[in-house]
Structure 1
């Protein structure tokens, strides 16, 4: 099935930003590993947080959903013989953290995922775990998922990880390190991308009582054997999800209000706010009412701009969609990490936007895809079929780009919004966006929104 999305003449209203997926996932992990009961307030409920909950239940945690919060009874320092196959589906974070934690279990655990995940890079993590004494091996393809971790313990010591492939490798080892027999040190080689995600991990660990230190340049970490402690956590807004609503608001003059906004965020993707201000969009935050107001004047998105996304890779597709309408140019660099995501996101957005008539050029540094430059226009004809490349963030970004085109486009992958932003269609319906599910041959099959 494809999704036909009609363009709109304006975009305004009040919309609720989903809670943070990374914050929710980290809180579920610390609650699982803690002694006692943890409550996670304002948690995000989507496919990928459900995958994390199911993985943690396999480890022995009891996780109960209440109205507005999760209650987690953790396993503490007693790691059970679980003898499970843990399913990570498409979540790289779930696979990587569970694979690392399984090293400390007293019995073998198989960790697997879907076809997309089984093609993603895992070798640096597996090598690092072996350096720390783990006995983990791939079952099908060497150094790829699925794996079996024989559960013979983490002895500790020093491991090395690259900083320019995925911050999730560092996060995975950090979560498992307190369970090692002796201190764990992580040495990071190369540039350290997505530092904001590592900082979120460090904050979660510190709040849970873990003895962890990091060097100022984020290249060296030390974790002492220590016990996780239960606590109450409140999850804040997700700025990757917010970026789609903010970008849509920036494409049309008018006022938009976002709710569920706490205002204090460690997320690198918060960068979407100053970027939009740089593009001429007025954004104000009211912590009293927990709202963000976007006032977009008619003359915004004009000029030549440059943005480095080294610490905010998840908004790369959003910026490509937004750049399609910049009257001038938008140059985005520092996005090489995104080639290791579910899709090679720069290549994907460049290919699909080019199909729609957008002037976008991929930028290479040292032969590696690193960013793009896009020279925007007021509008485009539309009427094309655009692929999500199996990546929900590509779909949501292309969806936004299509709103200001002249005729309806068709998109694949619309069902995947459930992975991180299950209310995506509902929120855009509030602005009058009409969508219709159609068969591949474009025969109407029913109204979605």
Structure 2
């Protein structure tokens, strides 16, 4: 199993160089490796670990398979729910086309492969991380990779001030990876300090120092790249980590803590929605700081989107029909949430948001109730709402590499949400 752990760690570290290659190549490599790791990790589990894993993975697997099934439905030729663009194409070509919900079948197929790769990585990370020592390997790989993305942003920023033509060298949406690495680093650092020591021996001291360096790098990269936009998601993640730590230190019960967090979150969300500057715009894009022409285009896109969406990954194929032909830059939606809503459809999108938040709550409860190794579940509880908030503010979406890192991080949190020893005792 340790060879599989090392292989998954290598995949996570390899997402950084893969972010510099063409996306189809990255999708192919990640899909092949994650599929192999999925089967190897499940087959090599010990009997006791396998029974624990089987009980643990079912709800996550069910939710992921629903997402995959919906994307498949969007790809299938279903004329009665097909997008109107297929009818226009049939008339223009004077031929009968069997349309589908998706307006771009190749992009939707690519999105399905990415989702399956992320699912494979999640399952492999969960299987590996049922043993805390192996979970630390995955956590280290996520941290070092996120630090590499942050370093790329800082180098690009430094060079870009001298040679503006070299801007854009850093991997696209690399700043979002910081929202994965920072909560993990914070939780692990607090857990180490809370034990009354920073580690045993020189190796642990060096490791803890590198974790702190990684946190500083990621914070610096996030503030340099998108200081205002990224501050709120980053702050929410840090607050959740702090609340978990305070709950564990105090005599507050886990149930009372999660109820208080839910109440605070509901009040904050209601206040933000009611007091937002662009109340007349759809909620998915109303928190974006995009230029006026991008906002207008996004409003028009969302107004025309059917309830079943336009197909996963297909937004880039539809945007040129709404964009100004004189615009030099490639068109993009005002926010990543707006793009996801357009692709998946409003009912599916909002249900998915609710299910994702439920997973975050489950990780929160697990982190509060655990003894040692609570930092893994705590990082999952903080990463999920941080990424979700960033999607409503920023237009950037996680690339293939970022998606794999997120899947590994949440898989690790899922495995360590419940102590295997406590479960066996029950």
TM-score by length of 2: 0.27
Q: Which has the higher strand share?
A: 1
Choose between structure 1 and 2 for higher RCO, CA contacts under 8 A separated by at least 6 residues. Answer: 2
TM-score by length of 1: 0.26
